[in-house]
Every structure is written in C-alpha cells, then in structure tokens.
Homo-oligomer: A and B are copies of this chain.
Amino acid sequence: MTPLHPLDQATTLVPTGERRAIGATSPFYANMAGPFGGATAAVLLRAVLDDPACLGDPIALTVNFCGPIADGPFEVSWVEKRAGRTVQHWTVDLTQNGKVAATASVVCARRTETWTHQPSAIPTVPPASAVEPLALGERDGWLRRYAFRVIEGPPLFGLPPTDGPRSARTVCWLNDLPERTLDFLSLAALSDAFLVRIIQVRGTLGPMGTITLTTYFHTDGEALTANGARPVLGVADANVFHRGFADQEARLWRDDGLLLATSVQASFFRD
C-alpha cells in the first residue's frame, strides 16, 4: 500500500453525519502556533470538493482564521448555501470543543469554453532547475513540505533586521515535498506558502498571523493535472502595514506561463 502524501493525510476527513466530518492537525504541517494556514485552507476546500453534490471546479476560496487551532482533532461541517446551473456557493466551519476556529466560503462552478485572455504575464526568471532549493537548517514542520527555490526576496533565514524596511516582494519556484501532482488542494495550500510579509520587510519575528485568506483559482483541474509535480512560480508582495494589520498578494503560475491562482491575505502584527 502506498503511504498517503502528507497533504492527503492532513486533509483526510472522516464522515460523522450529514455534511459533518472529523479531521486532525498533522505534525507534517505544524507551524509556530497551530497548523500552517495553507493546510487548514486545503482541509476546508476538500470538505466541499469531496461532497457528492459539488458542481465542479473551485473558483474562489475565502478562509477566515478565527482562533487558534490546537494540535489534535477538529470537526468540520459544511452547507450548500445556493446552487444555480453553473455556480454553487458553500460555507464551511471548523470547530474545536464547540468553538469556531475557522470559517470558509467556497464558490464552485462548471467551467465552459469561452474567449481566453491573460493580461498578467509570468515574470522572466531562471528555470527551477537552475535555482538551488533554500537550505532550511534545523527548521521543521510545514517549511519541510515545500522546496523553495528563491529567485528574489529570500525569507528571513540569515537576514538580520535592517534600519529601513526591505522589499515585500518574493519570487520563487515552489513544489510540494514529497513531490505531488498539482491539484486544487495543493494550490490552495501553496497560496499561503509565503511567509507573512512583515517578516520579509522587517526581519523581526513579533506576534503575527494571517486572519483571512482569499484564493481565486483561474483554471480547471485538467490544467493542474497536466502540471504534474513540476514547480510553480510564485510571486508575493504587500501593499501596506498599518495600525496592526498588513496585506499580502500572491500569484502562482505554471512554468509555461498559465496563471493558476491569485491570492490575497490580511494578517495582524504587533511591534
């Protein structure tokens, strides 16, 4: 029997009733406090995608991180709020001990052939094969679940704080470790695989955390399968850090230039 990939294991849901299931945090995706947000996003998305009534591919996913998630089991429940012929809206709750720890809304749709136009072009960068993966040293947990081939804006490792803020921009090739054929779960998690930008910009590690994450999926499942396990190019940046909150934007491209997903998130920080 082939062992489950850590992402499939971390997103496994055991049904306990009508649109209710139990899951558990995974040490493979452990973060500083509770699980990596991308893994939580993937769990909430999977609840909907695995529902027999799911209409098609995900178009949009918003995850609100409402409270800490403790290591261990959690409950997930989901509701179909409205469905038309081609678009379907869901909401999802993740609870622990009766308290809501995360909520999500998911839009799914039957995609159709239409005019296609992609004004947003992939940046010109060296191929993934020409970039060494980041050395993670002693670091463990979710960082070990990705190869980060950083072209611009390496994460804080070894970067001391500076007098002035650094650029918030990171450009890097990313892939799951162990390698895994790309799908929507992987892409949802990848959209959160950039360190919170305050670290990038200040080089400090004060209290901080993502409070809400929205990811748009711009293509269909076949285009993801066709990617196989090849690295995707990610670009992250931020617009503002102000009065305790900051934003982040991310884009993920297939290596042939197809835009796979775009994402925004808001995070809190303290000085």
Residues of A within 8 A of B (CB): 59-60, 62, 64, 66-67, 81-82, 84, 86-87, 89, 91, 93, 99-101, 103, 105, 107, 109, 111-120, 165, 167-168, 201-202, 211-212, 214, 216, 218-220, 237-245, 247, 251, 259, 262, 264, 266, 268-271
Contacts and interface: CB of A to CB of B under 8 A. Distances in A.
Contacts of A87: 211, 268
A91 B109 contact: no
B238 A119 contact: yes
A91 B91 contact: yes
B117 A100 contact: no
Q: How many copies does the complex hold?
A: 2
Given A81-B100, A82-B66, A219-B242, A264 B214 contact: yes
A93 B268 CA distance: 26
A84 B167 CA distance: 31
B67 A84 contact: yes
Contacts of A201: 117, 119
A59 to B, nearest CB: 6
Nearest to A113: B243
